Amino acid sequence: MLGLKVPLKDAEKWKQYIIVNNFINNNYQYLKDKNHIYFPLISEFTIIRSQGLEFVDKEFNKTKHKGTLRENLGKSLTKEELEFVKTAHDIIGSIAILEIPQDLVFREKVIAETLLQTNKQIKTVLKKADIHGGVYRTQKMIYLAGEKTKETIYRENNVQLKLDVEKVYFSIRLSNERKRIMKLIQPGEEVLVMFSGCAPYPVVLAKNTEAKHILGIEINPDGHKYGLENVKLNKIKSVDLICGDVHEVIPKLKEKNSKLTFDRILMPLPKTADEFLDDALAVSKKGTMIHFYDFLELGKFDEATEKIDKACKKAGFKHKILEIVKCGQHAPYIYRICVDFKII
Ligand SMILES: C[S@@+](CC[C@H](N)C(=O)[O-])C[C@H]1O[C@@H](n2cnc3c(N)ncnc32)[C@H](O)[C@@H]1O
């Protein structure tokens, strides 16, 4: 079967790359010889042969099946208890985040320990204590099992992101949306990322595009701190981050440079992004692309375009809606959408 032959000294780098980009075939085990490691692959991708990489045809051994979480829980929970278990969970780096139904709280330690044994990638298990809330959109987490930490490093789109899952908003489910935006960026663009959090958008865009400069603004000091760390961690030079309220930072930037504008503006704060449209338009010009996020019910997406129409009219701008993209489900029938519009 298809495999990738990699010099041992580069094993970790390429392992991360093929896992992050979903080329790895998890049903088979890696092989090693004196000088090389062989990764089982699902498909080929572009490689640079001068780096010593080679696609090969190889016999790999099947991964030993450790059982699913539900199968393994069957050994310690009753049938009735099993029915209540929500086995779906998010994994951010080495941390798994579970949702434990009220009726099963007394069994949460067993569930968490079983999850640790089921998945080797998981080193810590936490549970959600509430929903995202407050200005920082953070979520309280309770420690259940494994290493006692809430900090981890998560990998996606060729970058590493360090964060504390409780102190900072972060969603792995937005990685495709980050990739979508990444593909829209043109060489030389000046990009503004409002509400930048621990900087997933700035870092992914800087690492994978030829944007000239990316500015992120984040009000949560912890988010800003991790953002700065992530810029360093990914050896990025084209990103600047400001800690502050977008409502205050934009006027201050305009005071310093009245002509300041951006080619692209991201507004990833779906709950209240409309309150910041005036700020976005204050640094827009003819041709600026804006990505406006909102939570809306299916069939009511027009409510977002109405907010945009109103703000553009007030600012004296003409605009064109280019696309409305569903980029996640927030609740039953409620979607996270992104309206891509252009100032014309
Ligand atoms: C939904 S999160 C998105 C974070 C990040 N862009 C991401 O995708 O992971 C929204 C972020 O906006 C920040 N925020 C909320 N109000 C803000 C404001 N007035 N100015 C700057 N940032 C703000 C929050 O602290 C939070 O980190």
**CATH T-level topology, domain 69-149:** GMP Synthetase; Chain A, domain 3 (3.30.300)
CATH match of 2-57 with 3.30.70.2580:
yes
pTM above 0.85, yes or no: no
Tens digit of pLDDT at every position of the chain (344 positions): 999 999 998 888 888 788 777 788 877 889 999 999 999 998 888 776 667 888 999 999 987 777 888 888 988 888 888 888 888 889 999 999 999 988 889 999 999 999 999 888 899 999 999 888 899 999 999 999 999 999 999 999 999 999 999 999 999 999 999 999 999 999 999 999 999 999 999 999 999 999 999 999 999 999 999 999 999 999 999 999 999 999 999 999 999 999 999 999 999 999 999 999 999 999 999 999 999 999 999 999 999 999 999 999 999 999 999 999 999 988 888 999 999 999 99
Determine the residue of 90, 169, 201 to mutate for testing ligand 1's pocket, defined as the one with the most ligand atoms within 8 A of the Cβ atom: 169
Contact 294, 337 (CB under 8 A): yes
CA angle 222, 292, 254 (to 5 degrees): 70
Q: What type of residue is 249?
A: V
Closest CA to 198 of 247, 238, 262, 152: 152
Asked if 134 and 162 count as a contact pair (C-beta separation under 8 A), the reply is: no
Ligand 1 lined by 170 (C-beta under 6 Å): yes
Q: How far is the CA of 168 from the centre of ligand 1 (A)?
A: 9
Q: Residue 282, Cα to own-chain centre: how many angstroms?
A: 28
Encoded amino acid at 326, one letter = K
Mapping DSSP to helix (H, G, I), strand (E, B) and coil, where does residue 155 land? strand
What one-character-per-residue DSSP string does 286-316 give?
A: TT-EEEEEEEEETT-THHHHHHHHHHHHHHT
Decide: 174 in ligand 1 pocket, CB within 6 A. Answer: yes
The span from the CA of 101 to the CA of 40, in Å, is 38
Pocket test for ligand 1, best of 131, 163, 195, 203 (most atoms within 8 A of CB): 195
Tracing tokens 């991201």 back to the chain, one arrives at 266
Domain 168-343: top CATH class:
alpha beta
Domain positions in the chain are 2-57, 69-149, 168-343
Residue 141 has a CB neighbour count (10 Å cut-off) of 20
